[in-house]
Amino acid sequence: MISRQRIIETIKAYDPKNITIGVLGGHSALDVCHGAKKYGFRTVAVCQKGREKTYEKYFRSRPDIDVVPGQLQPWHSTKGVIDEIITVDKFADIVKPEVQQQLRDLNTIFVHNRYFWVYCDFNQIENNFNVPIFGTREMVKLEERHVENNQYFLLEQAGIRIPKIFAVPEEIDRLVIVKVSEALRGYERAFFIVANPDQYKKKAQELIDAGMVSVEGLEKAVIEEFAVGAQINLNFFYSLVDDELELMGTDMRRQTNLDGILRLTAPQQMELLKHMDPKMIETGHVAVTMKESLLEKAFEIGEKFVELTKREVPPGIIGPFALQGAVTAEEGKEEIVIFDVSLRVPGSPGTRFTPYSGYLYGDSISYGERIAMEVQTALKAGKLEMIVT
């Protein structure tokens, strides 16, 4: 792990009046840069050749204007949110010394996202990426279900309810969802739902024969009780500066081709399913709300998770994270069951279209704005080292 002292030395060499917020060009980059620009920070996106147009053309800042870091700017004074572009042959090249130097020359605080950890090597990021990261760099790998002390371990240790996990297919005795990596795109999962060992074997073989999953992938798959309930993602922000947990917003996944199938009538679904299988490839999110009587339960599990991370991976979670699950109705009471964790900024920019951050700040704000606010607060308080790793 890159030493804490080395990151502190890097931060101390920065010009605090010219901080840049950096992102990898994908996932939540526009959301983060939108917030950074609103609070007067310059932005930089590291983009992969062939995938740069969104950032280099469509949402590039124009015209370039002088801004005062940490000061709210009139939004009409500029158009677009990406000030600087660093183009690389592949995302993983962000760890090259010359790219890191470009980021440091811009006084960059890097906001990590799912793309960052999917396309780059964990070991390289943890040990050789000498650019301050807003958030906890050593925690994100724990999203992977096959690593030691992963997200399931964290949730269980925190006393948060998770679905029952089956060690082997032969134990399946109820409806389960099997989470297995795709054969071609290891970062995407080929979910499938079965109810007994025979269905598992049949479905697994069909997916192997179709080239969608591999035997090796199935060996690492998670077989998880299917939580029947109203899906909801609890998108939190923990401020290490204020020692306070905030609920930024709530949403749910939009998935293809599942969402298309669900729009059909039952007879149409039955006919369609003779010719194709449902897939759960995430394509976006939908803003949803939860009734106020559930908010206390949501905060309770969020606080449990924060305290657990402080003990297990000091200093614990920094900034954005999400606990994704469902609200179930069992024996006359509602329970929140968590089946997925995001240990960095979630991918949905739509969280600000729910009211919860507005109850704190007057108007609902985006994750990008909240991150920029935290950087601004830390800068003013001389605590920038506190919020980066």
| pLDDT at residue 65, rounded to an integer | 55
Does residue 11 surpass a pLDDT of 70? Answer: yes
Mark which of 225, 249, 274 sits at the end of a domain: 225
Q: What is the pLDDT of residue 290?
A: 96
For the chain, give the percent of residues with pLDDT over 90. 80
pLDDT category of residue 277 using cuts at 50, 70 and 90 = confident
Whichever domain contains 173, its CATH number is 3.30.1490
> Are 269 and 349 part of one and the same domain?
yes
- The gap from C-alpha 323 to its chain's centroid, in whole angstroms, comes to 10
Q: Which residues pair with 46 in a beta bridge?
A: 24, 86
Residue 210 CB burial class (10 angstroms; 0-12, 13-18, ≥19): exposed
Q: Mean pLDDT across the chain, nearest whole number?
A: 93
At 183 the pLDDT is 76
287 and 155 within one domain: yes
Closest CA to 160 of 282, 309, 344, 351: 309
Which contiguous run of DSSP H or E holds residue 102?
Answer: helix 97-105
CA distance 118 to 113: 9
Buried b (16+ CB within 10 A) or exposed e, 374-383: bbbbbbeeee
Most confident of 132-141, 202-211, 354-363: 354-363
Residue 30 pLDDT > 80, yes or no?
Answer: yes
249-266 average pLDDT score: 92
The pLDDT, as a whole number, for residue 171 is 97
pLDDT at 190: 76
- pLDDT category at 155 given cuts 50, 70, 90 is very high
- pLDDT for position 74: 55
Nearest alpha carbon to residue 207 among 191, 223, 219: 191
Q: Does a structural domain hold residue 18? A: yes
Tell me: do 45 and 88 sit in the same domain: yes
Identify whether 361 is part of a domain: no
**CA 210 distance to own-chain centroid:** 30
Flag whether 308 is in a domain: yes
Q: What is the pLDDT of residues 219-255, one digit of tens each?
A: 989 999 999 999 999 999 999 999 999 999 999 999 8
User: Which residues constitute the domain of residue 287?
Assistant: 151-159+228-354
pLDDT > 70 fraction of the chain, expressed in percent and rounded: 95
In a domain, 286, yes or no: yes
Q: Do 205 and 70 have their domain in common?
A: no
Q: 206 and 97 in one domain?
A: no
- If asked whether residues 155 and 279 sit together in one domain, one would say yes
Using the predicted structure, report yes or no on whether residue 76 has a pLDDT greater than 60: no
257: preceding bond cis by omega (within 30 degrees)? yes
Report, as an integer, the average pLDDT of 149-162: 96
Q: What is the pLDDT of residues 56-75, one digit of tens each?
A: 999 999 875 565 656 655 55
Tally of structural domains, the chain: 3
**Is 146 within the bounds of a domain?**
no
Rounded to 5°, angle at Cα 137 from 132 and 143: 155
Q: Do 178 and 123 belong to one domain?
A: no
Does residue 182 share a domain with residue 37? no
Q: Which helix (H) or strand (E) holds 246?
A: strand 244-257
Identify the pLDDT of residue 182. 85
Last residue of a domain, one of 225, 256, 277: 225
Verify that 212 and 240 share a domain, yes or no.
Answer: no
